[in-house]
Amino acid sequence: MNFMGSLQQLGRAYMLPMIVLPAAAIFSFLSQFPWDYFGLGQMSVYLAAASQSIFAYLPYIFAVGIALGITGNALASGISALVGLIIYAGVTEAANPLIEPTVLIGAVIGMIAGFGYERFKNLRLPEYIQFFGGPRFVPLFVSAVALLLSMAMIRLAPQIEWLLVELGKVVDSSGGFGVFLFGFVMRILVVFGLHHLVSHVFWFQIGGYRLDDGTMAFGDLPRFFAGDPTAGGYMAGLYPIMMFALPAIALAIIQEAREDLKPKIRKTFITAALSSFLTGVTEPVEFAFLFVAPYLYVVHALLSGLIMWVTYELGVRYGFSFSGGAIDFILNGHLATRGWLVIPIGIVTFFLYYFLFRWAIQRFRIPTPGREEGSQLDDWAGDIPYRAPLVLQAIGGKENVVHMEACITRLRLRVANDKLIDANALRNLGAAGVIRLGGGHVQVVFGTYSELIREAMAKSIQRDQKQVSFHSPVQGRMIPLADVPDPIFAGEMVGGGVAFVPERGELVSPVKGTVVHIYPTKHAIGIRTAEGLDVLLHIGIDSSKLGDKGCFQTYVEKDDQVEPGSLLIRFDLQQLRRESKSVATPMVITNSSDYVESWRYAPFKTVKKGQASVMSVVLKERNGGGVKP
């Protein structure tokens, strides 16, 4: 595994334990209610205890969560991490009761358990002790390492505690400039999905605060919830970004969209804006302009750092349990210092971002969604089971998938060959962007539907249905077959399929197969796949008469073997427009009633020539072959 891939895996792992923190914030918020009025006087005590318990056991949560995150939820790694931290806590407490597990120690043991599992899960021992081989070796390995680590920490703990506190003082001494650098670097790392690594250091490790019972809370986030009035400086400035800046960008994109596309863009980006405003999930908006205007994203990162700096200098100290959205803003307001300033800062931020992005989109003609071919964000609701198999095909098929996971906004993949990934097809299927990290590690940003897409793809792999995926035979726009101005094709009398409105005069093969028929007029061609599908490609409507006028030139012959993207026919598009009824080019399966069980279509929009996964069919079970859905 390459270095970037390892960092991506670790960054993903940090997200799992973070999921439990909103529960602590909710319990803390509810504990402030006047429960005595309802005759439930003890409820405040119970809720406060529930919140405090989560923070008390945070090291254990991080140990188990990181181990599971690294290994894709391997139970052996999770139990190993838990046992390892229990051993650490028992040994250190026996030697010095003041030494307590910290989130840092929990993270270290979680990483040891996770990477230990990946290293030893296939370990083979001599037959007489093979019972302890494979995954069963991992708890033994982690237990031994945890014992050694705890023995070392008995000597080193005072120095490490001093170091963390002093690091906190150094960081505080940098003041607002340090907050600016943190904000800038964090936004840049969002691109690679590695922002959790830098935020974890500041939020859970640097800086210490001694509680009334003598225990220490380390990191900006635990210190904030423990009541440290100086904590929250590295979180407060994110509220104006999440709640105001990103919604302003979304509004600017909506306003700059073409009038005919505004209804769809409005729906998509209002959802994205609400996602950022309420929960702090920013990628659906950020990735809408990242790939088409990376320089604008750098400006966004600089502005984010500056806004965090200003918020810090104004004395705002505001924390959160998950991210700087309105939900956390409401839940944690009772612990904030000068929290009311977030609103006026946010309003100024909103107008700054709105006018800046509208000006930049107009001035530099940035192809944001709704203007031209830009990054695509689509409405996945109710469409995931149909489109996810096409996504699987666009990443090279199940044979190309080595490992697949999802975090909040993106699929995180390890593939055998990242050259097989069709980025255009993925964007056409709704991805906001595709990020290649090298070594087969790829991220595909689908927004908050990423986990649902992963589940649907996993089910598709498990069912092992016999499928045939089709590439686009032309460059242009894909349309439903029903929109073809010909009752024969529109009524599916020839067979089911789709059609295309070409923008260039080239027709390529959509599948791997054999050329079985070339019409004498050269305006149509038939291909038979290995599965027995007969695919007809028909250039234009009422276009056979142009064959005698030299409109079409073939580049294959009958019985030739073709691959997806192989050039079949060149044609004069301008002549076709002038002299035929329509340039619509149907792609139909003429024997679909015999072979096809179900159909899946990509969104009907612009496609590239040879683009993967514009259509997919599931084949019927025949003669005992295949697997029933």
H or E element, residue 596: strand 596-601
Alpha-carbon distance of 319 to 225, in angstroms, equals 8
Class of residue 56 by CB neighbours under 10 A (exposed 0-12, middle 13-18, buried 19+) = middle
For residue 156, give the H/E element and its range: helix 137-173
Distance CA 341, CA 361 (A): 30
Left, alpha or beta for 573 (phi > 0: left; psi -120 to 50: alpha)? alpha
User: Alpha carbon 550 to chain centroid distance?
Assistant: 49
Q: Are 5 and 444 in contact (CB under 8 A)?
A: no
Closest CA to 138 of 88, 86, 67, 209: 67
Indicate the residue type of 4. M
First to last CA, the chain: 35
Catalytic annotation, pick one of 407, 421, 507, 596 = 407
- Check: CB of residue 265 under 8 Å from CB of residue 367: no
Contact 455, 463 (CB under 8 A): no
**Residue 481 near residue 586, CB atoms below 8 Å:** yes
Is 407 among the residues known to form the active site?
Answer: yes
Is-contact 267 372, C-beta < 8 A?
no
Identify the CA nearest to 401 among candidates 457, 471, 465, 466: 457
Nearest to 199 by CA among 49, 432, 335, 15: 15
Cα separation, 272 vs 349, whole angstroms: 18
Pick from 158, 149, 192, 152: which is nearest to 297 by CA?
192
Distance CA 240, CA 300 (A): 13
Q: In which residue are the tokens 């498990």 written?
A: 462
| H-run or E-run covering 571 | strand 567-571
Reduce the DSSP state of residue 442 to 3 states and report it: strand
Cβ contact 277:248 at 8 Å: no
442 and 278 in contact (C-beta within 8 Å)?
A: no
Calpha distance 77→135 (Å, rounded): 8
Q: Name the token pair of 88.
A: 């650490």
Q: Tell me the C-alpha distance between 105 and 89, whole Å.
A: 10
In residues, how long is the chain? 629
Are 618 and 598 within 8 A, CB to CB? Answer: yes
What is the spatial distance between Cα 592 and Cα 481, in angstroms, rounded to a whole number?
Answer: 14
The whole-angstrom separation of Cα 610 and Cα 186 is 37
Catalytic residues: 407
